[in-house]
Amino acid sequence: MTLQRIPRFVAFATAALVVSCTTSTQRFDLIVRGGQVIDGNGTAPQRADVGVVGDRIVRIGDLSAEQAGRVIDATGLVVAPGFIDVQGQSGTTLLADGNGESHLRQGITTEIIGEGGSPAFWTPGSDDGDSLAPFGLTFDWKGFNGYFDKLRERGTTINVGTFVPATTVRRTIIGMDNRPPTPDELARMEAMVDQAMRDGAFGLSSALIYVPGTFAKTDELLALAKVAAKYKGIYISHIRGESFNLFNAIDEAIGIGRDAGLPVVIYHLKVGAKANWGRMNEAVAAIEKANASGLSVSATMYPYTAGGTGLAATLPLWVQEGGREKMLERLKDPATRAKARQEIETKLDGWENLLMAATFDGIQVASVPREFDQSIVGKRITQIAAERKADPWEVYFSLLIDSGGRIGALYHMMSEADVATGLRARFVTIGTDSSALRSEGVLAQGSPHPRSYGTFPRVLGKYVRDEKILTLSDAIHRMTGLAAAQMGIRDRGLIRDRHIADLVVFNPATIADTATYERPHQYPTGIEYVVVNGVTVLDPKGLTGARPGRPVYGPARQP
């Protein structure tokens, strides 16, 4: 394939490792010595030392004669750029616990949030701040800069950036109604995206299976994407369908990128529903065809066969319209429940029918409100129904009503073969699609998706070392240099002269995920050191207590 046919984000990441020529008299703040350096470009490992002054990498090579304030002995270990989580969900949990431990211990040093919401765009008077209540926190900042000031004030180990979510924009201007914006409303929505991009958002995101984001038609999304394109942002989307409507949804995302003139990224590429298994190669081919035509289209993935979202997302859109209270009013009506059931069982076109994609046997309760029956956490709906000697549909609706629609669930609906096929695609990067949690305390509640703890080590252990789906250099490339280029981050993701010193030191023989669907709150093995902005935040003794994480800004605010 010629360079002209390589997507823009791939071409950006193909520069070779640079060895600087600083003098031998220089004293370093940090030297990572004796490791196998995998620089993030996809090139083979090389034995080298990495010298850091302040927050920058300043020399790569033989530093055996040099001194430093701290020396990390990386003999027998791999030294890689810090992993970039291109789809994090830690906007609130990092406020509750800036250690971000379940992500940091995976080697994640930078997280980009903002799929369906972002605290950087919360507005007074909304119910956004309710998610902070379990942590004893209140929503007391204003706007984009206020959120990042709050993160600085509380301190984080991880760097954080954000997209501007089209869902938040629509809800702020239109509310929860299923209707197109008026011309005046669309102008206000465009102005909101414009301000967000100038503040430092990476681009426009969309979450098109969730209310009210799903109410946005293509022309509305296109208008907002054109605003992001003015600032060289990207369009990243949880597309409108990942099972029965997958290919139409891919086409919509590609069309928005083509017509708006900006790169497209598809969140967590997958093929849901057993009837569709084996079609990942078709999805990959559709994206490759778009790139061959001159567009820039890529995707993210997590290395699991289950997804995760709220149980309420399984309901037909008309049941969800108007928000949670109206949804619950409808569900209390037996006739409405009967109509919803009939539609779920028969309608596959035009919406993401998660229940039919996973079936009751594939839906596992992940979290419930504190005051709710905790014994159902971790169980499939079929198991709960059997224990109650009740019909699964009866259990399904009662769970939604009795919990106030606040149940989180895992959806076991993908095949291992499709996951492997997707990971082989050269345009795929890695994202957790999860919040940073902790194995104890308030962040250890429920039975979350194991991706919160294991995503990156799972790729390196299962898919690199054990199954050889990817080479080690290629996998690191997906997690670092390729991810930085995909997001448009200019000075991270590579072990390179003058790049920010975000580094991960790990043992390739022992790195592995230990979190499971049954026991998710388990940290991975094999990550020895993590360095963020030149500061060691994790070593073999544990967290160092340092919180040097910073805001990471999109193209309009990058120097």
Interval 134-167: pLDDT, tens: 899 999 999 999 999 999 999 999 999 999 999 9
Q: How far, CA to CA in Å, does 491 sit from each of 197, 300, 437, 498?
A: 19, 21, 27, 8
Q: Which residues pair with 215 in a beta bridge?
A: none
How many other β-carbons are positioned within 10 Å of the β-carbon of residue 433?
24
Site of tokens 């810090």: 82
Q: Quick check: 7 pLDDT over 60?
A: no
Q: Quick check: 307 pLDDT over 60?
A: yes
Report helix, strand or coil for 1: coil
Nearest alpha-carbon partner for 92 in 48, 147, 169: 147
Q: How high is the pLDDT of residue 370?
A: 87
Q: Quick check: 12 pLDDT over 90?
A: no
Q: How high is the pLDDT of residue 126?
A: 82
Share of the chain above pLDDT 70, in %: 95
Q: How high is the pLDDT of residue 437?
A: 98
Antiparallel, parallel or unpaired: β 56-61 and 68-73: unpaired
Q: How far is 536 from 530, CA to CA, in rounded Å?
A: 6
pLDDT for 367-378, tens place per residue? 999 889 999 999
The values of phi and psi at residue 230, to 5°, are -60, -30
Confidence of residue 25 (pLDDT cuts 50, 70, 90): low
One-letter amino acid at 117 equals G
The values of phi and psi at residue 70, to 5°, are -140, 140
Q: What SS3 string covers 45-92? A: CEEEEEEEECCEEEEEECCCCCCEEEEEECCCCEEEECEEECCECCCC
Q: Do the beta carbons of residue 173 and residue 185 sit within 8 Å?
A: yes
- Omega into 81 within 30° of 0, i.e. cis? no
Q: How far, CA to CA in Å, does 452 sit from each of 100, 101, 457?
A: 10, 10, 11
**Sequence-ordered strand ranges (E) for 182-328:** 203-207, 234-238, 264-266, 297-301, 306-310
Secondary-structure breakdown of the chain: helix, strand, coil percentages, each rounded to the nearest 5: 40, 20, 40
One-letter amino acid at 233 equals G
Report helix, strand or coil for 110: strand
Q: Quick check: 129 pLDDT over 90?
A: no
Q: Do the beta carbons of residue 466 and residue 22 sit within 8 Å?
A: no
The values of phi and psi at residue 18, to 5°, are -110, 130
* DSSP category for residue 375: G
pLDDT for 211-270, tens place per residue? 999 999 999 999 999 999 999 999 999 999 999 999 999 999 999 999 999 999 999 999
Higher pLDDT, 184 or 124: 184
Confidence of residue 271 (pLDDT cuts 50, 70, 90): very high
Q: Which residues pair with 408 in a beta bridge?
A: 310, 367
* pTM of the complete model: 0.94
Phi-psi region of 350 (alpha: psi -120 to 50; beta: other; left: phi over 0): left
Confidence of residue 26 (pLDDT cuts 50, 70, 90): low
Q: How far is 109 from 556, CA to CA, in rounded Å?
A: 22
**Mean pLDDT, rounded, for 505-533:** 98
512: tokens are 């592995």
Report helix, strand or coil for 269: coil
Q: Of the ranges 16-25, 169-178, 424-433, 500-509, which one carries the lowest mean pLDDT score? A: 16-25
How many other β-carbons are positioned within 10 Å of the β-carbon of residue 299?
26
Antiparallel, parallel or unpaired: β 78-81 and 28-37: parallel
One-letter amino acid at 198 equals R
Q: How high is the pLDDT of residue 21?
A: 41
Q: Which stretch of DSSP H or E encloses residue 165?
A: strand 164-165
Q: Quick check: 280 pLDDT over 80?
A: yes
Please report how many Cα atoms fall inside a 13 Å half-sphere around the Cα of residue 353, on the Cβ side: 18
pLDDT for 318-361, tens place per residue? 999 999 999 999 999 999 999 999 999 998 887 899 999 999 99
Question: Mean pLDDT over all residues of the chain?
Answer: 94
Helix 246-260 × helix 280-292 angle, to 10°: 20
Q: Which residues pair with 476 in a beta bridge?
A: none
Contacts of 128 (CB under 8 A, 6+ apart): 117, 119, 122, 139
Confidence of residue 18 (pLDDT cuts 50, 70, 90): very low
Higher pLDDT, 14 or 430: 430
